[in-house]
Amino acid sequence: MMAIGCLFPVLFFLGGAVLGGVLGGQQGSIWGAVAGLIIGLGIPTAMLIGMRSRHKH
């Protein structure tokens, strides 16, 4: 499960860059890549916090 979580930042970064590029050109590509990276890092972090909180109880 964690191996899939490790791919999220890369996949969301690339997906955000492509989608931003299609919708907003070069500027949109940069913003899409940044947003994708933030979202891609947030999902595995939330999964890890959830796993740790369930494992303690």
Domain residue ranges of the chain, discontinuous segments joined by +: 9-18+32-48
CA 46 to CA 44: how far, in whole Å? 5
pLDDT at residue 3 is higher than 80:
no
Question: Which pLDDT score, from 0 to 100, does residue 4 have?
Answer: 72
pLDDT of residue 27: 94
pLDDT of the residue at 55: 74
Length of the chain: 57
What is the distance in angstroms between the CA of the first residue and the CA of the last residue of the chain?
20
In this predicted structure, what is the pLDDT of residue 26?
Answer: 92
Concatenate the DSSP letters of all residues of 9-28 into one string.
Answer: HHHHHHHHHHHHHHHHHHHH
Q: Which two tokens stand for residue 4?
A: 């899939």
User: CA-CA distance, 27 to 47, in Å (whole number)?
Assistant: 31
pTM for this model (two decimals): 0.77
pLDDT digits (tens, 9 = 90+) for 4-57: 768 888 999 999 999 999 999 999 999 999 999 999 989 888 888 988 888 775
